[in-house]
Structure 1
Amino acid sequence: MPLEFGLWRVDDKPVRVATRPMPLESRLEALIEADPGILGDPLLLIGRQVPTSHGKVVDLLGMDADGGLHVLELKRDRTPREVVAQVLDYGSWVQALTNEQIRDIYASYARSRGQAEELDEAFALRFGGSPPEALNSTHALTIVASEIDAATERIVTYLASGFQVPVNVLFFRYFEDEGRAYLARTWLIDEAEAAAPSAGAKGHGKQEPWNGIDWYVSFGDEPGSRSWDDALRYGFVSAGGGEWFSRTLRSLPIGARVFTHIPKVGYVGVGTVSGEPQPFEDAVLTIDGHSRPMADLPLKGTYRPTAAGAEVDGQDRREWIVPVTWEQAAPRERALWRPGFFANQNSACKLRARFTIDEVSRHFGIDQDSADA
C-alpha cells in the first residue's frame, strides 16, 4: 500500500485538512510541465503529447541526469487494464528511440514553446554539464494519478516486484483549506524498493553518430608545462605526464579534424592532424615551410618530463606532440564556451556531439558542408 499523507492546520488546535478529489486530474499535466520538480527526482521535460509510431500519444516524456527516459502517463478516467496496458505499450516504443529521434522530439517540443535552445543547452541548464554520449540507456514508466483502484495497484505491484518492470504509480493528494489548494505526492512502491529503470534496447542509435573525422582534444594550458600560445603559433597539440594522458592523444590519425578545448576555458581552435605523434625531444614541426626541431623553438612552455626522468613507476611521462594545421584558431582570451558543449577528461576522443561541432564551426566560420564532404 502507498504511504498515506495527512495534513493538519495548527494555528490553535490541530485541524485536519480534508482530502478532496482533484477537480481536473488532467490539470496535473500542466502543473508538472510548469515545474517538473514536483515529481521529486530532477527531470528535464523533452516532450508533451508526444506521438508514437503506434498511433498513440505520450502525455509527458522526460529525461534524467543520466540520459534515461521517463514516460509519465496520466490515469484520467481509464480502467486499470487500459492505463497499465497503455504505459507498457509506451515502454516498448520508448526503449527503441535513437539518439537522433530523442533530439528531434525535444526540438519539436522546444519550438512549440517558442524556445530555440538545443537539447544539449537545455540539459546543461537543468543538470549542469553536457548530456552523456549514450541517451536512453534506461527508461522508467510512471502512472500519475490522484487515486487508483485496487486492481491497478495489484497489477503494478506484481509487474514491478515480481518481474522488475520499471513501472510505478505517483499519487498526488489534493487538499483544500480556506480557499487555498495544496498538493502532496507519494509513490505506490517506495523508490528504494522499486525496480531499477529498465535498460533500453541495445545496439545502434543510442549514441550520436560519428562522422569518422571529428575528434575532441583537451589541451591543458598550464603554467610551467604547456602553453596554448605555443600551440597556436607553431601548430600542434600535446599531452603528457603519464600514459593515461598521452595514450588517447597518440591515437589521433593523420587527417583527423580536431576541435581543441582548454579545460574550464572553452574551444580555441579547429585544425587537421598533419603528422605522426612524437615525444617532445624528437618532435619536428614545419614552420614557414621549413622543418624545425621543436626543442630549438622559442617556447613559453617547457614540454619536458619531471626531474625524475621520462619514466616514473614504469610509466612514460614524456610530453607527446601531434602536429596540427589550424583551419581556424584563436587566443585563449577569445575561447568559445556555451552550456551544453561537450567536454571530456580524456586528452582525445571521438567527437559525436553535433551541437558542439555545429556551434564551434559556426563561431570560427568553418563551412560544415565542405568539411563533412
Structure 2
Amino acid sequence: MPIEVGLWNITSNNISKIEYSSIDSEKRLEDVLSSNISILDDNLLIIGRQTPTIFGKYIDLLGIDPEGKITIVELKKNKTSREVISQVLDYASWIKDLSYDEIKNICKDYRKEDFESLFAQKFGISPPEKINQEHDMIIVCSELDNETERILNYLSNNYSVPINAVFFRFFSDSNSEYLSRSWLIDPIEAEEKICKSGIQNKGETWNGKDFVVNIDSYDGISIWEDAQKYGYITAGGGAWHIKSLKNLFVGARIFAMIPKKGYVGVGKVIAESIPIKDFKINKGDKEVSILDIPLKCEGIKKNSENLEICTYLVRVEWLRKNQENMAYWETGLRGNQNSAFKLKNKFTLDKLIKHFKLED
C-alpha cells in the first residue's frame, strides 16, 4: 500500500484539512508533467507525447534517462482499473524493439529538435552508444483499485516486471493549487529487484548498490585530499552535477576515480547530498561548517549561497583510500564522463574488489 498523504492548513489557529480531489483532466496532468517532468523524476527527458504505436494506440508520455533507459508513462486522473496494466504492457511490447534511429525520430517529431542536442542540454553528456536496452512502465493516477494493486505487486514482486504506480493527488486552497506525490513501490527497491533478476538483460546488469564517482578538481586543485580527510565526495556545482549526486542513496557503495589517473578509494554513502553551506565537520566536541574549515581545495566554497550553482556534498565513510600517486588503473577498466554513474561492468567491479581487498 502507498503511504497516505494528508494536507492541513495551519496558517491560523483554525486548523483545517484540505481535501484532495482528482485533477480536472488527464490533459492538464499531462501538461504539468510535460512542462516539468522533475515532478515525477528529475532524471527523465521527455522525448514523446501522445506517441502513436503500430497498434493504433497512443502513449501519453515517453521519457529517457541518462543511461538510455526508456520510460513509458500512462496517465489516469481518477481511480485506475486493471485494464491499464494490460495497456502499458502492450505499449512495452512495442517499445522494446525500437532502434536508436526510431527513438530519435520520435523525439524529433515531438520536440522538433535533434535528440542528441536535447540529451546533452538535459544531462550534460552525449547519449550512450546503445539506448533502449531497458525500459520502465509507470502508471500515474490518483488511486488504484484493490485488484489492480494486487496484480501490479504480483508482477513486480514475483516476476520483476519493471512496472510501478505513482499517485498524484490534487489539492486546492483559496487561490493556490497543489500536487502531492507518493509511490506504490519504492523506486530504488524496484530497480534492485530487476537488476538482481536479470530480467532486462540486454546489457550488463547492475547489482543495485555500486557506483563510480569522478573526483573533481577546482582551479587545477583536486578535492581528493580534503575528501579523504573530512569524509565526503562532490561532483561540483550546476544542475547536472546536482542531479548526478542525487542518485547516490544512503547505503550505496562508491568507488572514487580520478579521471585519467585511476581509482583511489571506496566508501559507503551515509547521508544524501546537501548544499555545501549545510555540511558540518566534527571538530572536537562541536560541529563546524565546512566553509569555516581551511581546505586545500578552497574552490569548492564558491557560490555557496546560490543553491542552483553551488557545490553539493555527499557524506561518505571511507572503507579504503589511497593517495593520488597510487591510483589504480589497468587496461579494460571502465570509466565514464558522468559525475556519478552505476557500475555495471563486471570485469571492472571484480578487479576493484580484488584491488581494494573487499569481502564480496
Give the structure-2-normalised TM-score: 0.52
Pair member with larger Rg: 1
Q: 1:75 corresponds to which residue?
A: 76
Matched to 1:147, the amino acid is E
1:2 paired to 2:2? yes
Q: For 1:154, which of 150, 156, 172 is the aligned residue?
A: 150
Cα displacement (A) at 1:201? 7.8
Q: 1:352 corresponds to which residue?
A: none
Q: 1:286 corresponds to which residue?
A: none
1:245-298 residue CA offsets vs partner (Å, 9 max, x unmatched) = 9xxxxxxxxxxxxxxxxxxxxxxxxxxxxxxxxxxxxxxxxxxxxxxxxxxxxx
CA contact (8 A) 2:164 2:185 kept: yes
Which runs of 5 or more structure 1 residues have no equivalent in the other structure?
Answer: 112-116, 204-244, 246-314, 317-343, 346-373
Matched to 2:148, the amino acid is T
Q: 1:192 corresponds to which residue?
A: 188
Counterparts of 1:69 and 1:167, CA distance in 2: 12
Q: 2:92 corresponds to which residue?
A: 91
CA contact (8 A) 2:142 2:168 kept: yes
Matches within 5 A, 1:361-372: none
1:83-127 residue CA offsets vs partner (Å, 9 max, x unmatched) = 11000111111111111110111111123xxxxx31111011111
CA contact (8 A) 1:25 1:145 kept: no
1:26 paired to 2:24? no
Matched to 2:146, the amino acid is A
Matched to 1:75, the amino acid is K
Counterparts of 1:152 and 1:81, CA distance in 2: 4
CA contact (8 A) 1:74 1:145 kept: yes
Q: 2:59 corresponds to which residue?
A: 58
1:156-202 residue CA offsets vs partner (Å, 9 max, x unmatched) = 11111111000001110111111321001111111232243786684
* Residues 1:157 and 1:169: Cα distance change in structure 2 (over 3 Å): same
CA contact (8 A) 1:145 1:169 kept: yes
1:46 paired to 2:47? yes
Which runs of 5 or more structure 2 residues have no equivalent in the other structure?
Answer: 204-259, 261-329, 338-360
* Residues 1:188 and 1:79: Cα distance change in structure 2 (over 3 Å): closer
Cα displacement (A) at 1:65? 1.0
1:108 paired to 2:105? no
* Residues 1:11 and 1:79: Cα distance change in structure 2 (over 3 Å): closer
* Identical aligned residues as a percent: 44
CA contact (8 A) 1:95 1:200 kept: no
In the TM superposition, structure 1's runs of 4+ consecutive aligned residues that sit over 6 Å from their partners are none
* Residues 1:177 and 1:79: Cα distance change in structure 2 (over 3 Å): closer
Q: Which moved more, 1:64-73 or 1:32-41?
A: 32-41
1:36-72 residue CA offsets vs partner (Å, 9 max, x unmatched) = 1110342100001111122211111000111100000
Equivalenced residues, count? 206
Cα displacement (A) at 1:75? 2.7
Q: 1:182 corresponds to which residue?
A: 178
> SS at the partner of 2:144?
coil
Q: 1:369 corresponds to which residue?
A: none
Cα displacement (A) at 1:146? 1.6
CA contact (8 A) 1:139 1:199 kept: no
What is the CA RMSD across the aligned residues, in angstroms? 2.9
Q: 2:117 corresponds to which residue?
A: 121
Counterparts of 2:29 and 2:104, CA distance in 1: 25
Counterparts of 1:67 and 1:12, CA distance in 2: 48
> SS at the partner of 1:27?
helix
Give the structure-1-normalised TM-score: 0.51
1:314-360 residue CA offsets vs partner (Å, 9 max, x unmatched) = x99xxxxxxxxxxxxxxxxxxxxxxxxxxx88xxxxxxxxxxxxxxx
Q: 1:270 corresponds to which residue?
A: none
> SS at the partner of 2:169?
strand
Cα displacement (A) at 1:138? 1.1
Counterparts of 1:5 and 1:25, CA distance in 2: 21
Counterparts of 2:174 and 2:200, CA distance in 1: 47
Matched to 1:10, the amino acid is I
CA contact (8 A) 1:96 1:200 kept: no
1:165 paired to 2:161? yes
